[in-house]
Structure 1
């Protein structure tokens, strides 16, 4: 397994395919395995890199000091260490939050963002939102990982024909380091960059399942505050859209990336044309 040390932590990553760089960021309690149904579609066209966040997958698990800001700094360090020029960045759930943080901290880094079933903040503002956040944190701390896994699996994959997805999810979720999972969950609650969205200057595709945890209208609202951004809704899907609707998702993503790669900014290859040299 490829390993790299960044910010005093050893990370597991994968690096497959060739072409423009494409960085895939997984969700909470998951790993690069989130993307198993995307790799066959993406690697013929892109150099696809998947990074396990600290506390996840094959990366070191300390369970201390986690934050979305730290995860984003890890990603930036990875981009620099791997010499990735203007990578496309795709983030699912927590990975989408990391992508938002990275793009607001370093707006010149991404060629594009694809945000899947995510948001630019998880800040409770209403009594019901405080109740829901508190309930989630409480049950995460008191229930065993196996109970959490079974409950989430039923929510994500409720159909009888999705038994394979349910069992795969349970097996992978139970392999989580509990301390690191809880630290990552705490890093999400209270985080937000909604007040900095104007800093994002690359094209953005927001993908929402029609039956995601949060309503489509929530995504539509924050998309309205982005510049070059669009919202696409995938029908008959829940939070794990890349798994439950892989073909539809892959085609949306490939079409978006092809459009960005063929756009005016991609056509500028001469530094003088880009205004990067003095007259």
Structure 2
């Protein structure tokens, strides 16, 4: 692990893969950390210099006063690229990470080689849902995060996967219980306020959309909307719930590599 010193704290990151390879940035979902990509890193680091990081408010990264914005989280990615002297990179983001990817594609496309948007949407959820969750977490603190962990199994994984791979599902959901309540609430606000439905057409880089047939958070319909809005975007759908990279594993990993190598 390494740390980038920002003006208001540190951003935790990790790099794997050959130094001369193209850079692939991985952005985590709300309530997880860079470990959510463990299933992919061994394979992807054979072809790319894999740069994954803990989004502000998560893992080993800074927790600053909220609310956050997706623009702020996107600026953290650009600061990381600048600090590591990376001119351009592939970007793969899931859920909230996908919102960050959309912001980068709209506002900093010149820094991207490609964009992979996984289990995400141009607008995720309603203000009411997010405001209720923010209020619950800020009032309930650490116990509220434990309660969210217990409820997240059904949203993040299909029942069949959660039963057959209980240890793996527990490892991922435990990341949520360990997330700072203040950082989580601040990121919920960022997701709440993000709406790129009218801006997606500005994305000009090669784009892959990944959706899950059993994802009730960001549905295949959300994925198709993004595909239709982004010129030339590719679309793939797996039988998975919200964390398709964890649930699908090797087929997910291989499909993304095929896309990246074709860019």
Considering the TM-score relative to the shorter chain, is it more than 0.5? yes
Q: TM-score, normalised by structure 1?
A: 0.85
Aligned equivalent of 1:274: none
Listed one character per residue, the Cα deviations across residues 187-242 of structure 1 (whole Å, up to 9, x for unaligned) are 1102122222222111000000111123212211221111120111012x110111
How big is the shift at 1:148? 0.7
2-structure distance, mates of 1:132, 1:177 = 19
How big is the shift at 1:34? 1.0
Aligned equivalent of 1:174: 177
Q: Give the greater-gyration-radius structure (CA).
A: 1
3-state SS in 2 of match to 1:36: helix
Listed one character per residue, the Cα deviations across residues 30-54 of structure 1 (whole Å, up to 9, x for unaligned) are 1110100000110011000001111
Aligned equivalent of 1:276: none
Aligned equivalent of 2:14: 14
> Out of 176, 200, 218, which is 2:222 matched to?
218
Q: Tell me if structure 1 keeps the 8 A contact 2:124–2:218.
A: no
Aligned equivalent of 1:36: 38
Extract unaligned runs of 5+ from structure 2. Answer: none
Q: TM-score, normalised by structure 2?
A: 0.90
Aligned equivalent of 1:107: 109
3-state SS in 1 of match to 2:235: strand
Aligned equivalent of 1:49: 51
How big is the shift at 1:132? 4.1
How big is the shift at 1:253? 0.3
Aligned equivalent of 2:156: 156
2-structure distance, mates of 1:16, 1:170 = 24
How big is the shift at 1:142? 5.1
Listed one character per residue, the Cα deviations across residues 115-147 of structure 1 (whole Å, up to 9, x for unaligned) are 0000122374xxxxx554455445445551111
3-state SS in 1 of match to 2:25: strand
> How many residue pairs were aligned?
254
3-state SS in 1 of match to 2:184: helix
2-structure distance, mates of 1:169, 1:142 = 24
1:77 aligns with 2:79: yes
Extract unaligned runs of 5+ from structure 1. Answer: 125-129, 261-279
Listed one character per residue, the Cα deviations across residues 137-174 of structure 1 (whole Å, up to 9, x for unaligned) are 45445551111101102432323212112321343221
Aligned ranges 1:219-234 → 2 under 5 Å: 219-234=223-238
- Higher mean alpha-carbon deviation, 142-151 vs 8-17, is at 142-151
Aligned equivalent of 1:240: 243
Q: Tell me if structure 2 keeps the 8 A contact 1:123–1:192.
A: no
Q: Which has the higher relative contact order, 1 or 2, with Cα contacts under 8 A spaced 6 or more apart? A: 2
Q: Tell me if structure 2 keeps the 8 A contact 1:123–1:190.
A: no
